[in-house]
Structure 1
Amino acid sequence: MPKPDVDRKKALFDAEARLSWVLAGLAGLIGAAAFAHTAGYFVTFMTGNTERAILGYFRDEADMAVAALGLIAAFVAGVVVASWCRRRYWAGHPHGPTLLTTVCLAVAAGTDLALYGGNPADIDFVPILLVAFGVGALNTSFLANGEVSVPLSYVTGTLVKMGQGIERHASGGDYADWLGYFLLYASFGFGALAGGLLSLLVAGWAMLVTATGVSLVATGYTYLHLDRHGPLAE
């Protein structure tokens, strides 16, 4: 029987871990698309939205405060709907929320292009609400005992856990205590970097199309391979 620490080290690079890197990168890309091609809306940073929703009124930015509230509501709605779908329809597909994210991104891209017509440089607020909904759904992709085990866009929590792991490693543990969190954080950062570079080349709706493509590939992989040969096959 494998030792627990050996299993933990193997889990750092297994199919589930690799999928988490892809989805964290997707979250970073989506966040970059929203930030670079809007008035600075956050679709992955609900801490910032909460502060903006409150402090906006102190800075004569009531419109941004209302927008932040809308983004928070859309994000939470995405979590609720994805969780409900998992319970009712995706018992055989642990990573089913990626499908909901893909649909939201595709509809957001199409809606933005329709709204802007011949001048699709930026992303309208309505599509951004759909994107925030999709990001909320995406964060329910990994569960353990009914709770989210890998918060894909919750970078603050990832850094806290990474810092704790570094301390455990320094106190006699090993690299497995922090490396997984670092790889997840690095994946999110790489996705944001890729999104930033892409924003210099293409319009907002095109960035959403790119994100839709990445999400579609991840969805296909989970449905056709991981959910058949991964956790459910054990």
Structure 2
Amino acid sequence: MLRFDPSHQLLAVGVAILAGFVDAIGFVESAGFFVSFMTGNSTRLAVGLAEGQHAALVAAIIIATFVFGVVAGALVGAQAGRRRSLAVLIGVTILLAIATLLRLEGEGWSAILSLALAMGVANAAVAGRDGSVIGVTYMTGTLVQMGQKIANALRGEGDRRWLHHLGLWAALVGGALLGARAVIWSAPLAYGFAVMMAALLAARAGWIVRDAG
């Protein structure tokens, strides 16, 4: 997070909010599976296999779909060059729009897989000059880095840079809270809100490219 310029840090926060929002939609709609948090699905896969439950197959399919999205996002991002964030977020917007249409047609599980695909792609949205990316759909690594920096600060060897990681985590949690409230209120509208959020982030990415010249 600290290796990125402020404009991309803010973009990453926005994508984290979107990821939390979409993950909450997927969790509620699928009755307990995740569309961006694959550690949770991996545990569900293992428990399902141990207990011989159908949930193992569901988790495996979602994980595979997410990984496919990560691959696709990385390829699109590499091809797009300095327009990486714009291209990736346009792709995310399209996939979320497809998920919305599928949900409106009553294709619930197809919609959930489209959400997972979109979240896989989203992980390629923010890249630094050295090619490193910010993982915006999972927070374990972010929390570990935050804890390490807090430890450094307590030893007098660091500063308040851990606040950047706290902010990214809070963005995902806040997005998830909004997503949960939205999908409980109206699932179709929640999907629509996700599309609008992604479109706004794509527009912001376009502005960043333009300002960079």
TM-score if structure 2 supplies the norm length? 0.92
Which digits, 9 at most, give the CA deviation of each residue in 1:80-115, with x for residues without a partner? 111111222x11312021111111100001011112
Q: 2:29 aligns with which of 16, 22, 37?
A: 37
Aligned to 1:5: none
CA displacement 1:24-73 (0-9 Å, x = unmatched): 00000001101112221211111111122222022232x21111111111
CA distance in 1, matches of 2:123, 2:3: 24
Contact kept in structure 2, 1:159 and 1:181, CA below 8 Å: yes
Residue deviations 1:177-223 (CA, integer Å, cap 9, x gap):
x01100000000100111122123112x3211110100001101112
Distance 2:169 2:65 in 1: 24
- Aligned mates of 1:69, 1:147 — CA distance in 2: 27
Structure number, greater radius of gyration: 1
Change (3 A) 1:218 1:171: same
State whether residues 94 and 227 of structure 1, in contact with CA within 8 Å, keep that contact through their aligned partners in structure 2. Answer: no
Cα distance in structure 1, aligned partners of 2:77 and 2:149: 31
Cα RMSD (Å) of the superposition?
1.8
Letter in 1 for 2:117: F
Aligned to 2:189: 206
Q: Which of 90, 94, 112 is the equivalent residue of 2:84?
A: 94
Match of 1:56 among 48, 63, 67: 48
Which of 19, 24, 31 lines up with 1:27 in the alignment?
Answer: 19
Matches within 5 A, 1:1-234: 11=5, 14-61=6-53, 63-88=54-79, 90-95=80-85, 96-115=87-106, 124-144=108-128, 145-148=130-133, 150-172=134-156, 173-176=158-161, 178-203=162-187, 205-223=188-206, 225-230=207-212, 233=213
- Distance in 1 (CA, whole Å) between partners of 2:168 and 2:46 is 30
2:184 and 2:4 map into 1 onto residues whose CA distance is: 38
- Please give the alpha-carbon distance, in whole angstroms, between the structure 1 residues aligned to 2:55 and 2:132: 31
Amino acid across the alignment from 2:202: T
Q: Deviations over 1:111-162 (max 9, x none)?
A: 111126xxxxxxx1111111111001101112233332x1101211110011
The equivalent of 1:4 in structure 2 is none
Is 24-33 or 162-171 further displaced after alignment?
Answer: 162-171
**Count of equivalent residues:** 209
SS of residue matched to 2:185 = coil
Q: Percent identity?
A: 30
Q: For residue 104 of structure 2, what is the amino acid of its counterpart?
A: L
Partners of 1:80 and 1:101 in 2: how far apart? 13
Cα distance in 2 between the residues matched to 1:168 and 1:229: 36
Matches of 1:70 and 1:22, distance apart in 2: 27
Q: Secondary structure of 1:71's partner?
A: helix
